Structure 1
């Protein structure tokens, strides 16, 4: 009924009800944020107490696979990856394209900065991208490069409110290095000393025509977001339409999010096994349904995630789904003592993906991301080898054990679940 035909008492009651509803919503949000702040404070104390106790990541050798015309190298040890990335930059003759979500101002970060500066000084075209928000704690002086280096600092705030213009949302979460169009790197590793030996992550190097997949992603992003004073990078098409290696690129500015579709299709095709490794695993309704359907038809579905990630709120929100996953036959494995940050999956020993996207809302429906899709039995075998190796450092969480968890876990999971929209 229109409000103008209501009695004065009814209108007063309606206004009062609205005020109560708004206050209740405000108190609820304030309570959730206060609880989240408290949880983060407690976690910070725990991390400070345990600081220095983390063991180093196993220094496993890279694995090599031939995928048609491309040579794929898989890294699970940051130090080895950084050595090869720096060697590639030092050997550059034409161009260096480097994008990193986080670029720390430590010894590793300085080594990369020095390398790109050296390349620019010898006449190589050097373009670097890093996310302004992710590097707010990095000294601004470190973020300044000499003039020969072209720098795109993806802004913390962009014109257009997110709720009004979806094309203005999302952080640049990609990690890409392309040198001379002949070698490219992509994966979960940011640049920093911590990631070199203390985090378990996965990255790949591509040599061959598949490098175009990475270069094209960098070029498109650069040309769309560069300042007028910065050079436009040459764009080119690809002659390969039946490649066994292809890039799925989330592009908020174009409202395109293919990484999620990549996962959903692979899960739907699975007949034998789905093995997933994620730093942050908060599946949406469709991904959750896909995994449960696969498990119900007899597929061996396993997920590795850190027991304690670097984002405690993401850990708590993720646990809300554990009961449903465990009851549905999905195996959950918690990586012990170290942060596992990899974003990988392999299906049926035939398909694999390695990239920058987590299975959560921010990655699948928010940020700029890139994941390689590789259809290759040899590469899938390597990813399964890595997965089995990681399982040795994991503890499986069983349904019975999860049902016996302390009562305050249940309270936190339910109370903080609405924060999923922000994670």
Structure 2
């Protein structure tokens, strides 16, 4: 017979477990506080140079659509504002962060001018991401239809956590003819101090970005409802892949896994925040083990110290399996791109972390085209020249407190 566990013993065990949990949470909080303080002190000495490499603007065609890659904020913003100022019928704009600075005001004024001349304008922005921006900044022209993704939603109380993500997308669609998507938020700092990647499309493939905006607008109940517009053509070379938390749909993770598992020669990934789940990590390690050249460009120091330390917890596994870790220096690299075997590429809004791949509203373009992949490889090469190659021997020599801190933070991985 199994021994009977008495009530007092269970009570003592529960109290002990609770104390251990509280103690661990206390240690975890102390580590996070220490990292934030250390990062603040380090930030004062950090070298940010406005002359970091700008790969340039790359023009090309994918099937029947013209495609342009932007790698510098000022170039991108000029093109986006020109598109809005030339709009004749309709503008859809969605952004995660929208600063109330000179760049932010230029976009707001361009949208107001478009609405004044009779263009239908629809705007979505995320409330949580812009809590520090004065609410008065978002007083738009009265003819502009606006949906502020709410910080607090009743759905959070009655639905799974995974169905209540933030709207992390950065989209612009003008006249159903021109579309933009990528990693750039709207603000002065992104114009000149961050390295990011955005894509513009002109042609039938713009329908995918239109549908990405309209699908979420109608799903969240924004008004007025936007009517469905069927595509003029179906181009299998370009498609928008959309994470829709309200429907628990997260296909972007799937396209990454499929491409990684198919890779035969090389995988080049650039991401601002690298906190992969077990399946993606195993797929990358397995690819490297079978001889695929796997390279990751990550920020040496990002704008989120906690994300940096959670990411560093994966470096030992990556380096041991021969994955090349390239740390981007002197600027924040915020791009979310990948290219595989010179055949497949993706550019969009999703990082390789839990929030992007199983939490937030995201949009990535999946592009099957050799010429486009060649441009993405050129960009990766230019960015690589601004990176420091991390070696396993160097990583093993870091201060003993570093791996301890990384281990303490492991339980936070599912939340970032």
Normalised TM-score (structure 2): 0.96
Cα–Cα, structure 1 residues 59 and 400, in superposed 2: closer, same or farther, change >3 Å? closer
Please give the secondary structure, in 2, of the residue aligned with 1:141. helix
Please give the secondary structure, in 1, of the residue aligned with 2:136. coil
The Cα of 1:167 is off from its aligned counterpart by: 5.8
2-side partners of 1:61 and 1:28: how far apart?
A: 48
Q: Does 1:34 align with 2:27?
A: no
Selected match of 2:391 from 387, 390, 398: 398
The aligned runs of 1:10-409 (5 Å cut-off) are 10-50=6-46, 53-161=48-156, 164-166=159-161, 168-227=163-222, 230-238=223-231, 240-409=233-402
The Cα of 1:298 is off from its aligned counterpart by: 1.1
2-side partners of 1:295 and 1:109: how far apart?
A: 42
The Cα of 1:262 is off from its aligned counterpart by: 0.3
Please give the secondary structure, in 2, of the residue aligned with 1:388. helix
Q: Check whether the contact 2:204–2:232 (CA below 8 A) recurs between aligned residues.
A: no
Q: Check whether the contact 1:152–1:226 (CA below 8 A) recurs between aligned residues.
A: no
The Cα of 1:411 is off from its aligned counterpart by: 1.4
Cα–Cα, structure 1 residues 208 and 271, in superposed 2: closer, same or farther, change >3 Å? same
The Cα of 1:184 is off from its aligned counterpart by: 0.2
2-side partners of 1:107 and 1:62: how far apart?
A: 23
Cα–Cα, structure 1 residues 162 and 333, in superposed 2: closer, same or farther, change >3 Å? farther
Q: State the Cα deviation string for residues 54-74 of structure 1 (Å, max 9, x = none).
A: 334434431011101011100
The Cα of 1:380 is off from its aligned counterpart by: 0.1
Q: State the Cα deviation string for residues 224-276 of structure 1 (Å, max 9, x = none).
A: 2244xx21112123364452000110000001000000000001111110000
2-side partners of 1:157 and 1:216: how far apart?
A: 26
Normalised TM-score (structure 1): 0.95
Cα–Cα, structure 1 residues 60 and 400, in superposed 2: closer, same or farther, change >3 Å? closer
1-side partners of 2:293 and 2:353: how far apart?
A: 21
Q: Check whether the contact 1:280–1:360 (CA below 8 A) recurs between aligned residues.
A: yes
What is the root-mean-square deviation in Å for CA atoms of aligned residues?
Answer: 1.7
Post-superposition, which runs of at least 4 consecutive aligned residues in structure 1 deviate over 6 A?
none
Q: Check whether the contact 2:344–2:366 (CA below 8 A) recurs between aligned residues.
A: yes
2-side partners of 1:337 and 1:195: how far apart?
A: 14
Q: State the Cα deviation string for residues 260-305 of structure 1 (Å, max 9, x = none).
A: 0000000111111000001011121111111111111111110001
Residue range with higher mean Cα deviation, 106-115 or 140-149: 140-149
2-side partners of 1:300 and 1:237: how far apart?
A: 41
2-side partners of 1:221 and 1:97: how far apart?
A: 12
The Cα of 1:35 is off from its aligned counterpart by: 1.8
In the alignment of these two chains, the number of paired residues is: 416
Unaligned runs of at least 5 residues, structure 2:
none
Q: Check whether the contact 2:52–2:330 (CA below 8 A) recurs between aligned residues.
A: no
Q: Check whether the contact 2:94–2:171 (CA below 8 A) recurs between aligned residues.
A: yes
Q: Check whether the contact 1:181–1:211 (CA below 8 A) recurs between aligned residues.
A: yes
Please give the secondary structure, in 2, of the residue aligned with 1:406. coil
The Cα of 1:27 is off from its aligned counterpart by: 2.2
1-side partners of 2:295 and 2:157: how far apart?
A: 35
1-side partners of 2:155 and 2:25: how far apart?
A: 24
